[in-house]
Amino acid sequence: MPAISSELISGVVAFLLTIFVLSYLIGDQFLFRAAIYIFVGVSAGYVATVVWYQVLTPQLIQPLLFGSGGERTLAIFPFFLTILLFAKAVPALSKLGTPSVAFMVGVGAAVAIGGAVTGTIFPQTGAAIDEVGRNSFEGVLMLFGTISTLIYFQFSAKRGDDGEYRRNLLTRIFSFIGKVFIAITFGVLFAGVYSAALTAFIERLDFLSSFITSLKTLWLP
């Protein structure tokens, strides 16, 4: 009888979880839900561990207990917000956690908007302008697609004589072209996601086949 190694145990676990997930092909049942519950539980435990050892401990607990006077002063404010955030778990005290939630939402929105502007819009526009100088057709097409897509998300309109609000004709034309570019982009993204999912599915099938073959070689004479 061959020795049971850690590689064999991990392979069996991976094999079973793969079977559990693929069981969704015949319907939503206990095996698939068990795999999802395991995935959610492991992910939650991993995130909690990372937050504790890489965020709370070095950024909050250590400055409060072992930091200098300035570090302790800076750590009091986030510690106070953290305590208030736990009040959200108690319905009677949930209003006390509103400042903490508002602070997180405000900071998150600022980071997201700033990242979108400085990391996406400006670089995309700059790349389109640079491409015009290198390749006229591709550059003009990229610049035209960028501008028309941005115009698509411009919703200001003027009130007409009949009382209805309409955008001017040029804006509507550019908005329609921008919608075409967005549709093409979503189509390409969907094709990429589908291709990646199909690749992962084929890799799992190959894993199942290889694992069964290795078990036959290991256990059968």
- For 57-88, the pLDDT digits (tens) are 888 888 888 878 888 888 888 888 888 888 88
Range(s) of the domain holding residue 148: 135-221
Spatial separation of the C-alpha atoms in residues 31 and 69, rounded to whole Å? 54
Closest CA to 58 of 45, 47, 71: 71
**Among candidate residues 20, 51, 66, the one where a domain is terminated:** 66
**Among candidate residues 66, 93, 123, the one where a domain is terminated:** 66
Q: Are 157 and 170 in contact (CB under 8 A)?
A: no
Residue 158 lies in a domain: yes
Environment class of residue 139 by beta-carbon count within 10 Å: exposed (0-12), middle (13-18) or buried (19+)?
A: middle
Spatial separation of the C-alpha atoms in residues 208 and 199, rounded to whole Å? 14
Tell me 190's DSSP state: H
Closest CA to 82 of 93, 96, 68, 63: 96
Token output for 7: 């590689």
Residue 195 lies in a domain: yes
Residue ranges in the chain whose pLDDT is less than 70 = 1-5, 131-133, 135-136, 219-221
Tell me 159's DSSP state: E
Residue 183 lies in a domain: yes
pLDDT at 191: 94
Residue 114 lies in a domain: no
pTM comes to: 0.63
Residue 121 lies in a domain: no
Residue 76 lies in a domain: no
Spatial separation of the C-alpha atoms in residues 120 and 117, rounded to whole Å? 6
pLDDT at 181: 92
pLDDT at 61: 85
Residue 115 lies in a domain: no
pLDDT at 23: 86
How many domains does the chain divide into? 2
Statement to judge: residues 59 and 141 lie in one domain: no
**Among candidate residues 36, 66, 96, the one where a domain is terminated:** 66
Residue 10 lies in a domain: yes
pLDDT at 7: 76
Statement to judge: residues 221 and 139 lie in one domain: yes
